[in-house]
Structure 1
Amino acid sequence: MKFRRIFVLLPVCVFLFGFHAANAAIANDDNIAVDVVSAGPLPTMIKNRMQASVSVIAGQLMDGRSMDEIDTGKVQYQTIIKDVFDKILIGYTVSDVFISSVNETVNVKVSLLPWNDTIKDVDVQVATDGVSQEIAALALNDIQGLHELFSENLCGLPVDAVDWSNGVLKHSLNDFMEKRLPEFRADFEMRTGEVTGVTVTIYPRMPVVRNIDLAMRSDTVPNLYLLQERSFFQTQTNILLGVPVAFVNRHKDYFAKRLGEALDRRTSFSLLAIHTQVEIRPDEQTMINSYSDTAKYNINIEGWADFGRANNGESMTYKLHAGSFITPKNEFFTQIFFKPQEADLDWAAGYYYHFDNRWRVGGRYFFDNNYWSIDTQRIFNRKWSARFDYAPSQDFWEGAVRYNVHDFVSLEYVWQQSDHKEDKWLRLIGHF
C-alpha cells in the first residue's frame, strides 16, 4: 500500500520540482537582452553604445536574481534604469522603460525621445599633413566613402548628442582607416549644427622612407647619356621621402610607372625613343633601379686596360659601338677603336642578328687590316656573358668571359690565338 502511494505521488513531485526549477532561472549577462528604440532616426553605432550602457545598468540591478524576483520588482527596476540612463544621456529623453521575462530571458526595452534640433546632413573635409599633394591625392583615393561613414553615424542624431558619440565615431574611423589606409592615422574635429562640419586630418605612420639609393642602367645607350638626366630623376624620386614604407610598397606599381614616364618624356630620351622600366624596393633606405633602353639604337662606349698581355704588354683601347636596328632582330653597326698610346685609330662595320636579348651572331669588316671576322655573344644574366671572335684569313680567334662588377666596371678573361701563338690576359673594362 505504501509503495502504491509512492508511485502515485512521484509524478506529482517531478512536475512540481520541474515547475520550481523553471521559475528559479537566474538573470545574468547572457540572458539580459536590451533594445533601445527612438521616435526618430537612431544611427546603428550610437544605438549599440546606448544598449551597452543600459546592459551595464540592468546587470547591476538584476544579475543573480531569479525571474520571480525580477517580475516582482520590475516597476522599481524600470524606474531606476530610466532615471540613471536619463542622467548620462545627452540629446535624448528616456520616455519609457519596460521589463519582461520570457523563456528564461529578461527583455529590457528603452524608448527615447530625441531633442528638437537634429543633424540633417554632414559635410566632411579631409586634410593631409606631412606629405606632398600627389601622395595626398593617392591617399584620399584610398579612403573614398569617408563621408558615408560619418553620415551613417550622425544623421538623425540630436545636435546635443554629438559629443556623446565621439568615442563611437573614433572607433569607427580607426576601423575604416585600418581597412582602407592602414599606413596613415586619422583625427577629426566637428562643428555641430543641422549641417555638421567634420574635418578629418590624416598623418603618415612610421616607418617612412628616409633615403633613396638610385641606380640608372641601360644596355643600349652609354652611361654618360643617362647621367645627364640623373639630377632630374633624383628630384622625381624625392616624392617618396617621408612617405610610409608600406604605402610605397602597396602603390609601387603606380610609382614605378610614374617615374618611368617622367624620364621618357625628357627630350634626350624621346629623341632616341628610349623606354624606361623602374624597379622599386621600398624600405627606410629605398632602392630604385631604372632600366632605360631603346629598340632603335645600340650605342655604347668602353675603355679597355689589358694586364698580363704577352704580345703587347699593357695596353689601353677605347671602343665606340654605334648600331641601328633595321628590325628588332637585325642590327647594322660601326665600331671605332682608338689606342692612345699608339695614337692609332681603326674602325669596322658589320651586322648582328639577335636571336633574342641574350644571344647574337654576325660579322665585322676591319678596314685598317682589310679582313672579316665572325662574332658571337651569349649573355647568361646581368653579371656573366661570353663572346667568341674568329677571323679565318688571319688565322686568328679570341674568346672571353666577362663579369660585370658594377654598372661602370667589368672584368674579362681573354684567351687569344694569333699567328699560331696563344696568349691569355685579364682586361679591365670601363663602361662610359
Structure 2
Amino acid sequence: MHSSLKQWMMRAGFILFVSSFSFPFSTEAAPIRQVDVHVGVTEGDLPPAVEKRIVSSISSIGNRILVGKEEDLFRLNSSEYNKVLADIINRVVIGYVVSDLTVNYGSDTSLSVTLAPVGRMIHKVDTEIDYGNLSPEARRYVEEETKDIPGLMSNLLIGLPVDSVGWAESVSQSAGRDMLHQLLPEFTANFEVSSGEETKVKIYLIPQGQIVRSSAVTFEKTTVPRLLMLRASEETEFALEHLQGLPVNFVTRKQGEISAEMNRILQEDSFIKKYGIATETRLIPGEMTELKINALTDHWIIRTEVWLDAGRDGNKNTAFEGLLGHYVGKRDTIFGEARFYPGPMDWDIYGGWYHHFGSVLDLGYKYNFTNNENHVFGVIPFGDRFALRYDRDFKNRNDEFRFSYKIHNYMTLEYVYNDEDGKWLRIIANL
C-alpha cells in the first residue's frame, strides 16, 4: 500500500512537472482547449445524478492537468499519462475502479472512462418522510405529492456501490433535493442517509415562504338562515383549520382540490343534503386563509334577522325580521316580509318584488299592508362586506339610507340616516 501510494505520487509529480512547460513539439501543435468526458460502467447503468457527479469530478481532473498544455506533449507520452489519469480517477471516484480508459488528444480532447463497481452493492432502499408538525389532514395533501419519492429514491440508489453514496453527495443530497423540488417546490428537505446493502433514507420536509397561520369561513351568498347551517359551517371551519402550517404557495397550488374537499364536507351535512341546498366554495389562500361559501336553494329565499338600534329616539329600537321569497325566472324575486317590534308590540307586513341586476344593483318595490305604504328600495353592494341601501316611503315622503358593513357571518353593523328620525347605529344579527 505504501509503495503504491509512493508510486502514484511520483507519477503525479512527474505529470505536474512536465505540464508546467508550454513548448511545442511540432509547428502544428496546439494547446488543449477543452476536455469532453464520457463515462460508462461494466454492469448496469449509472443513475443520471451519479453520472453527473462522476463526469464533473473527472472533468475537473482533465481541466487541471490537460487544458492549456500542448496536445503533442500528451500524445507522445499517452501510455504514461493514461496510467496517471487512471490512478487519479481511482482515488477520486469512490466505489468504482477504472476498467478501461481511452483518451483522444487534440485541441478538443475526448476522455472515455469505463468504471467497474467495487465492494458491497446497494440492494434495497427504505425511505421515510418526516412531515414535521403538520396535522394528519394537511399531511394527507402533501403525501399525495410525495407518494412516488420512495420508488424514485430506490431507482436512484439501488445498484450503486455502498461506498459511493457517501462520496457522491449529489445522490442523497443534491439529487434528492432536486427531485423533491420538482414534486414539492414549496418545501425544502434535509436528508439522513445510512448507507449499506439495505440503505435507509430519512427525509425531513421543511415548509418555505409564507405559512398558513389562521383561517376563516365566510358566507358570501345564502338563501337559507345561517343558523340552520351552523353545524355544517363549524365542521368545515374545523377542517380548514388543519391547513395551518402548510406553505401558502402549496395551498394556492392545491386550491381547487382543497376547495372541492371543503364543499364535500358541506354536502355531507344532513340539513343540506335533506333540502338539496346547492353549495359552492371558493378558497382564498394566505397567512389567513379564507373559505367563502355560497349556499343557495333553487326556488326559495329564507332570511331572518334581529335588529338592535343605538342612538335612536322612539320605541322601535328592537325588531325581528323574516323574509320568504320565491324566484321568478333567473333575476326576479317575489317576497313577503314581516317585521315584529316587541316593545311596545307592533307589526309591519310587506309584500313585494325586486329585480337582480347582477352584482351591481338590486331594485324593487314593496307594499306595507299594515300602514298602506308604498316603498321603492335598492341595494348596491361594494364587494363582499359593504353595501348601500335606500328606501323611499311615498306615503310619508321619507327617505332612508343605510350603509352596512358585515363584521362576520352572523353580525352586521349599519349606519342609518332617516329623514324623520335622524341618524343612528344598528347592529344586525344575521340568523
What one-letter code is carried by the residue in structure 2 that aligns with 1:247? F
- Deviation for aligned residue 1:246: 1.9
1:105 corresponds to which residue?
Answer: 108
Give the 5 Å matches for 1:5-404: 20-23=26-29, 25-27=30-32, 30-43=33-46, 44-102=48-106, 104-115=107-118, 118-119=121-122, 124=127, 126-143=129-146, 145-147=148-150, 149-186=152-189, 187-189=191-193, 192-193=196-197, 198-216=201-219, 218-222=221-225, 224-225=227-228, 231-270=234-273, 273-295=276-298, 296-303=300-307, 305=309, 313=314, 315-325=316-326, 327=328, 329=331, 331-342=333-344, 344-356=345-357, 358-366=361-369, 368-369=370-371, 371=372, 373-382=374-383, 383-390=386-393, 395-404=395-404
Unaligned runs of 5+ in 2: 1-23
What one-letter code is carried by the residue in structure 2 that aligns with 1:320? E
Match of 1:396, SS state, is coil
What one-letter code is carried by the residue in structure 2 that aligns with 1:425? G
Question: Does the aligned pair in 2 maintain the 1:302–1:318 contact within 8 Å?
Answer: yes
Please list the CA deviations of residues 49-89 of structure 1 after superposition, one character each: whole Å capped at 9, or x if unmatched. Answer: 22222223333333442122112332222121222222343
- Deviation for aligned residue 1:126: 4.3
Distance in 2 between residues matched to 1:79 and 1:122, nearest whole Å: 36
What one-letter code is carried by the residue in structure 2 that aligns with 1:161? S
- Deviation for aligned residue 1:139: 1.9
Please list the CA deviations of residues 280-338 of structure 1 after superposition, one character each: whole Å capped at 9, or x if unmatched. Answer: 443334444444444422312141537566xxx46424142231425455545433333
What one-letter code is carried by the residue in structure 1 that aligns with 2:351? G
What one-letter code is carried by the residue in structure 1 that aligns with 2:149? L
Please say which structure displays the higher CA radius of gyration.
1
Q: Which of 407, 413, 422 lines up with 1:409 in the alignment?
A: 413
1:14 corresponds to which residue?
Answer: none
Match of 1:162, SS state, is helix
Distance in 2 between residues matched to 1:308 and 1:199, nearest whole Å: 68
Distance in 1 between residues matched to 2:228 and 2:405, nearest whole Å: 20
2:9 corresponds to which residue?
Answer: none
Distance in 2 between residues matched to 1:329 and 1:57, nearest whole Å: 77
Distance in 1 between residues matched to 2:327 and 2:237, nearest whole Å: 34
Question: Does the aligned pair in 1 maintain the 2:339–2:348 contact within 8 Å?
Answer: yes
Q: Identity of counterpart residues, as a percentage?
A: 21
Distance in 1 between residues matched to 2:284 and 2:339, nearest whole Å: 39
Distance in 2 between residues matched to 1:298 and 1:21, nearest whole Å: 99
Question: Does the aligned pair in 1 maintain the 2:130–2:204 contact within 8 Å?
Answer: yes
- Deviation for aligned residue 1:237: 1.9
Distance in 1 between residues matched to 2:320 and 2:156, nearest whole Å: 72
Query: CA, structure 1 residues 409+275, in 2 after alignment: closer, same or farther (shift >3 Å)?
Result: farther
Query: CA, structure 1 residues 402+221, in 2 after alignment: closer, same or farther (shift >3 Å)?
Result: farther
Per the normalisation by structure 1, the TM-score is 0.77
2:17 corresponds to which residue?
Answer: none
What one-letter code is carried by the residue in structure 2 that aligns with 1:106? T
Distance in 2 between residues matched to 1:308 and 1:134, nearest whole Å: 50
Q: Which of 424, 428, 431 lines up with 1:431 in the alignment?
A: 428
What one-letter code is carried by the residue in structure 2 that aligns with 1:426? K
Of 174-183 and 207-216, deviating more is 207-216
Per the normalisation by structure 2, the TM-score is 0.77
Distance in 2 between residues matched to 1:377 and 1:101, nearest whole Å: 88
Please list the CA deviations of residues 147-197 of structure 1 after superposition, one character each: whole Å capped at 9, or x if unmatched. Answer: 56435533443344333333334212212222321222232535543x766
Unaligned runs of 5+ in 1: 1-17, 416-422
Question: Does the aligned pair in 2 maintain the 1:317–1:337 contact within 8 Å?
Answer: no
Please list the CA deviations of residues 200-253 of structure 1 after superposition, one character each: whole Å capped at 9, or x if unmatched. Answer: 443333542223355445553445555566644432221111212221222233
Question: Does the aligned pair in 2 maintain the 1:306–1:425 contact within 8 Å?
Answer: no
Match of 2:245, SS state, is coil
